């Protein structure tokens, strides 16, 4: 039997992806991996936007998704540069060891 | 009828007497004071010339105004200009009153003041603060003139305070002497107590009438429908101010101490300015006081008590100036009593004559002090009449005038007051007569001890010399006026409607003449001897002598009150401030903030995962509330 995929299904997948991203951010210690988890969060949001766009017959969501992709690319460039710079300075990318901001 | 000339806008002149000269009259001493302080301080002669020139200018203009008013019936009155305007409700003008009362007072202040300024040239010669002295004298004169011409309560109050400040400067003139500095402070603080009452009275009156102007208040007072209690309260509060400035019991304690100032200052304070201000102010606002029986009663009795008490203290003093100080207190008591008995005219008459003979007595005492190289103890003087004849004779004239011996001025003015008391209040009349007796007695004592008998300090006597002309000329000038001011018996009529001519019996007048004569005879019997002393009186009076010698223990009482009452209040405030406000309030706040900070700091772990977790948690909670609720 074939059932049409509903908006709900998309949103559930998007929500699961987002939760996965958050879990990765909280659990993982490597800054690079946290970064990847962040990307998952962004893509979860993209998925939800595109799904809304499709079901509501509006292109706004898709346009927003493109924006997010473009901004994510820029953000990755900056973020990776920061991580590289951090590694050069501290010889580590483990966030547990990067606690100089603490009082 | 007098024409009242008001000047508006650019219209500055009225014939040959420009109206702006009324302002010059007021401000020239201020300009002199400012110039001396800022420019000519180094040049003593120029400073003195400026100060004397300013008061002479004021005197001349006062004479001219007085002449125009009294003989031509023209009253110059500059139009007031707005001074302080606050919203629509408060409008204070800087006006100028030039009615009969003010003109008479202007003449007294500038006339007696001029003589004292001249005298100061001799008295203050060689003093390092010569220029400063003249600057302060000019400031003092300006403040007093300001009180005299004031046309509303705020204006009079501000000049009133200026008089307080300048008296502080002058009494504490020799501030390197601790007693002088203390005396200045005491005078200032004691009069401040009265001033607070006066301020309250002014505000209370304003809250009912919504104006400060004398003329307007006077016209509107009957239509205000003030209750008897309010009226009495206003009258008494305003009188409190006069009580401080005119040194009435119980605020009289500053006046004898004010003797620490240079003698010309004492003369100025006692004769023409400061203490006269209180009585003048009462006369100025007599329309406010006269309707209230209670206020009048209180004023009359305070005046009477002051008169008798001060006169009794004076009989046991040993300082040539202090005796005169208490005598001033006593005479001021007369004036205040006259106001209280409903006779401001008589009070002003006595104030006028008193200004001349009291200034004369003080300047005479100053001359003696200078002759003996700053000796003030009467028991170290004696036999001076041969050495200082001009001082002696003018002093005697002053004494006779003060005691009220006809035909000198004091007789006429004192007679008026005594007769008023006889008509209106018999007990006060007896007090006044007793005071008159004591006045003659203590003045007789002073004259006999200082000028007669044998010199008790031979060394000082040998070096004694008559004062230079610059000091004796004012003495002669004032002595002349002490004799004749009483003859111009129109002074009371000039001031107001003549009160009905009392047909007092010849017996009464004769009795009033006999009282001072009797006082002199008693003094003569006790002190007219080569080597007088207080011993017989001391023995006769016993405890009473100790009481008056210690001035009825007023100073001790005030010390006690300050120590215990004010001390207790201060300690309570101190504890409240230190423990409740500082420790609990401010200290508590700071400790609380610190603790809060320490607690919140624990959240700052530095762990990014932790932050992310809390961030996610917070976002979830917010979304939950926004979406689900």
Read off the pLDDT of residues B265-286 as tens digits, 9 standing for 90 and up. Answer: 888 887 777 888 899 999 999 8
| pLDDT exceeds cutoff 70 at B499 | no
pLDDT in tens, B106-155: 988 999 999 999 999 888 888 888 999 999 999 999 999 999 999 889 99
Distance CA B216, CA B8 (A): 19
The reported pLDDT for the residue numbered B547 is 85
Under an 8 A CB cutoff, do A25 and B612 touch?
yes
How far apart are alpha carbons B479 and B356 in whole angstroms?
8
What whole-number distance in Å separates Cα of residue B318 and Cα of residue B379?
A: 7
Question: Residue A94 — pLDDT band, cuts 50, 70, 90?
Answer: confident
Binned at pLDDT 50, 70 and 90, residue B3 comes out as very low
Cα(B282)–Cα(B284) distance, integer angstroms = 5
Best of B609, B614, B621, B623 to disrupt the A interface by mutation (most A CBs within 10 Å)?
A: B609
CB proximity under 8 Å: B 608-627 to A: 608-609, 612-613, 616
Region of B466 (left: φ > 0; alpha: ψ -120 to 50; beta: rest) is beta
Coil vs helix vs strand at B84: strand
Look at residue A101 in the predicted model and tell me its pLDDT: 65
**Given an 8 Å threshold on Cβ–Cβ distance, is A102 in contact with B608?**
no
CB B526 within 8 A of CB B297: no
Taking CA B305 as the corner, what is the angle to CA B300 and CA B306, rounded to the nearest 5 degrees? 100
- From the list A95, A101, A103, which residue is nearest B609 (CB)? A95
**Which is it for strands B74-78 and B90-94: parallel, antiparallel or unpaired?**
unpaired
Q: Which long-range contacts (CB under 8 A, 24 or more apart) does B502-509 make?
A: B502/B419, B502/B423, B504/B419, B504/B422, B508/B419, B508/B422, B509/B415
- Using the Cβ of B86 and the Cβ atoms of chain A, whether some distance falls under 8 Å is answered with no
The rounded distance, in Å, linking the Cα atoms of B629 and B612 is 25
- B82 bridge partner residues: B93
Q: Answer for the pair B269, B191: CB distance below 8 angstroms, yes or no.
A: no
In angstroms, what separates the C-alpha of B612 from chain A's closest C-alpha? 6
User: Which residues have a Cβ under 8 Å from the Cβ of B618 and sit 6 or more positions away?
Assistant: none
Question: What was the pLDDT predicted at B609?
Answer: 81
On whether any CB of chain A is under 8 Å from the CB of B598, the answer is: no
Residue B490 has a pLDDT of 53
pLDDT at B172 over 50: yes
Q: Which of B604, B612, B613 sits opposite A103 (nearest CB)?
A: B604
**ipTM (interface pTM):** 0.79
Give the span between the Cα atoms of B569 and A57, in whole angstroms. Answer: 83
DSSP state of B628: I
| Phi, psi (degrees; rounded to nearest 5) at B444 | -60, -45
Residues B429 and B422 sit within 8 Å (Cβ to Cβ): yes
Predicted local confidence at residue B15, as pLDDT: 47
DSSP string, B107-147: HHHHHHHHHHHHHHHHHTTT-TTHHHHHHHHHHHHHHHHHH
Count of CA atoms in the C-beta half-sphere (13 A) of B374: 6
B116 with B264: CB under 8 angstroms? yes
- Based on the number of CB atoms within 10 Å of its own CB, is B539 exposed (0-12), middle (13-18) or buried (19 or more)? exposed
Instruction: From chain A, pick out residues whose CB is under 8 angstroms from the CB of B616.
Output: 22, 25-26
Per-residue confidence band for B489, with pLDDT thresholds at 50, 70 and 90: low
Give the span between the Cα atoms of B59 and A74, in whole angstroms. 93
Whether B144 contacts B109, CB under 8 Å: yes
Q: Which residues from A are below 8 Å from B when comparing CB atoms?
A: 22, 25-27, 29, 34, 95-96, 98-103
What is the three-class DSSP state of B624?
A: helix
| Cβ(B407)–Cβ(B488) below 8 Å | no
Q: What's the DSSP call for residue B381?
A: -
CB contact under 8 A, B609 and A99: no
Out of B601, B606, B613, closest to residue A101 by CB: B606
Please name the member of A25, A99, A103 whose beta carbon is closest to the beta carbon of B601.
A103
Using alpha carbons only, what angle is made at residue B86 by residues B165 and B139, rounded to the nearest 5 degrees?
20
Q: Helix (H, G, I), strand (E, B), or coil: what is residue B86? A: strand
pLDDT of B498 above 90: no
Residue B14: the pLDDT is 46
The pLDDT score that the predictor gives to residue B575 is 92
* pLDDT on residue B52: 93
Task: State the average pLDDT over residues B318-331.
Answer: 91
Calculate Rg over the CA atoms of chain A.
Answer: 17
pLDDT at B325 over 60: yes
Q: Is there a contact between B612 and A22 if contact means CB atoms under 8 Å apart?
A: yes
- Alpha-carbon distance of B37 to B235, in angstroms, equals 39
Tokens of B260: 């620490």
Minimal Cα distance from B611: which residue of A? A26
Mean pLDDT of B368-392: 85
Q: Tell me, what's the pLDDT at B494?
A: 59
Residue written as tokens 């190289």? B373
State the pLDDT confidence band at B87, using cuts at 50, 70 and 90: confident
> What six digits make up the tokens of A19?
């939760």
Q: How far apart are the C-alpha atoms of B110 and A78, rounded to whole Å? A: 90
* CA distances (Å), origin B288, targets B228, B284, B342: 12, 9, 11
Averaged pLDDT of chain B: 86
**pLDDT score of B252 more than 90:** no
Q: Which positions in chain B touch A27 (Cβ < 8 Å)?
A: 609
Q: Are strands B90-94 and B81-86 parallel, antiparallel or unpaired?
A: antiparallel
């Amino acid at each position: 039997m074939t059932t049409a995929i509903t908006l709900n299904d998309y949103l559930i997948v998007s929500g699961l992806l987002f939760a996965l991203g958050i879990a990765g951010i909280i659990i993982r210690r490597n800054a690079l991996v946290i970064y990847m988890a962040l990307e998952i969060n962004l893509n979860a949001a993209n998925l939800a936007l595109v799904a809304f766009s499709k079901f509501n017959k509006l292109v706004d969501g898709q346009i927003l998704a493109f924006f997010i992709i473009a901004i994510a690319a820029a953000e990755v460039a900056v973020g990776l540069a920061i991580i590289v710079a951090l590694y050069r300075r501290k010889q580590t990318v483990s966030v547990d060891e990067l606690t100089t901001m603490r009082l | 009828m007098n024409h009242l000339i008001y000047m508006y806008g650019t219209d500055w002149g009225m014939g040959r007497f420009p109206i702006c000269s009324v302002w010059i009259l007021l401000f020239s001493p201020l300009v002199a004071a400012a110039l001396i302080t800022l420019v000519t301080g180094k040049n003593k002669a120029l400073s003195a010339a400026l100060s004397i020139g300013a008061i002479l200018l004021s005197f001349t203009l006062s004479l001219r105004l007085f002449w125009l008013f009294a003989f031509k019936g023209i009253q110059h009155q500059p139009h007031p200009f707005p001074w302080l305007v606050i919203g629509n409700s408060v409008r204070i003008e800087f006006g100028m009153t030039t009615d009969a009362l003010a003109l008479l007072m202007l003449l007294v202040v500038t006339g007696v003041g001029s003589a004292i300024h001249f005298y100061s040239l001799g008295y203050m010669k060689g003093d390092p603060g010569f220029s400063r002295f003249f600057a302060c004298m000019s400031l003092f004169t300006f403040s007093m003139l300001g009180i005299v011409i004031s046309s509303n309560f705020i204006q009079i109050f501000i000049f009133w305070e200026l008089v307080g400040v300048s008296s502080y400067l002058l009494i504490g003139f020799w501030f390197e002497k601790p007693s002088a500095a203390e005396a200045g402070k005491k005078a200032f603080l004691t009069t401040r107590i009265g001033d607070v009452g006066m301020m309250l009275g002014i505000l209370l009156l304003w809250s009912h009438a919504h104006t400060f102007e004398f003329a307007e208040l006077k016209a509107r007072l009957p239509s205000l429908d003030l209750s008897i209690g309010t009226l009495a309260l206003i009258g008494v509060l305003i009188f409190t101010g006069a009580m401080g400035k005119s040194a009435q019991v119980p605020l009289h304690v500053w006046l004898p101490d004010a003797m620490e100032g240079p003698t010309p200052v004492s003369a100025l304070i006692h004769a023409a300015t400061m203490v006269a201000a209180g009585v003048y102010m009462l006369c100025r606002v007599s329309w406010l006081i006269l309707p209230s029986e209670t206020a009048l009663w209180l004023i009359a009795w305070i005046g009477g008590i002051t008169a008798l008490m001060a006169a009794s203290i004076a009989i046991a003093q040993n300082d040539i100036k202090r005796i005169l100080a208490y005598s001033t207190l006593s005479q001021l008591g007369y004036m205040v009593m006259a106001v209280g008995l409903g006779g401001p005219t008589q009070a002003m008459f006595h104030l006028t004559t008193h200004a001349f003979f009291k200034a004369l007595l003080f300047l005479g005492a100053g001359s003696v002090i200078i002759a003996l190289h700053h000796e003030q103890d009467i028991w170290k003087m004696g036999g001076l009449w041969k050495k200082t004849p001009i001082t002696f004779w003018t002093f005697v004239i002053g004494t006779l005038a003060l005691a009220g011996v006809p035909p000198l001025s004091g007789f006429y003015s004192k007679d008026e007051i005594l007769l008023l008391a006889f008509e209106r209040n018999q007990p006060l009349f007896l007090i006044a007569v007793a005071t008159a007796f004591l006045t003659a007695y203590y003045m007789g004592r002073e004259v006999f001890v200082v000028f007669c008998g044998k010199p008790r300090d031979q060394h000082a006597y040998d070096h004694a010399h008559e004062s230079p002309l610059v000091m004796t000329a004012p003495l002669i000038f004032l002595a002349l006026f002490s004799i004749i001011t009483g003859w111009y018996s129109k002074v009371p009529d000039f001031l107001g409607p003549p009160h009905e001519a009392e047909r007092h019996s010849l017996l009464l007048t004769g009795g009033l003449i006999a009282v001072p004569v009797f006082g002199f005879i008693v003094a003569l019997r006790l002190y007219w001897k080569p080597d007088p002393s207080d011993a017989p009186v001391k023995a006769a009076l016993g405890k009473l002598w100790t009481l008056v010698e210690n001035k009825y223990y007023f100073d001790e009482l005030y010390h006690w009150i300050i120590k215990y009452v004010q001390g207790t209040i201060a300690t309570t405030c101190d504890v409240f401030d230190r423990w409740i406000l500082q420790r609990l309030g401010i200290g508590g706040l700071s400790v609380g903030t610190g603790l809060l900070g320490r607690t919140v700091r624990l959240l700052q772990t530095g762990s990014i995962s932790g932050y992310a977790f809390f961030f996610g948690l917070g976002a979830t909670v917010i979304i939950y509330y926004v979406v689900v609720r």
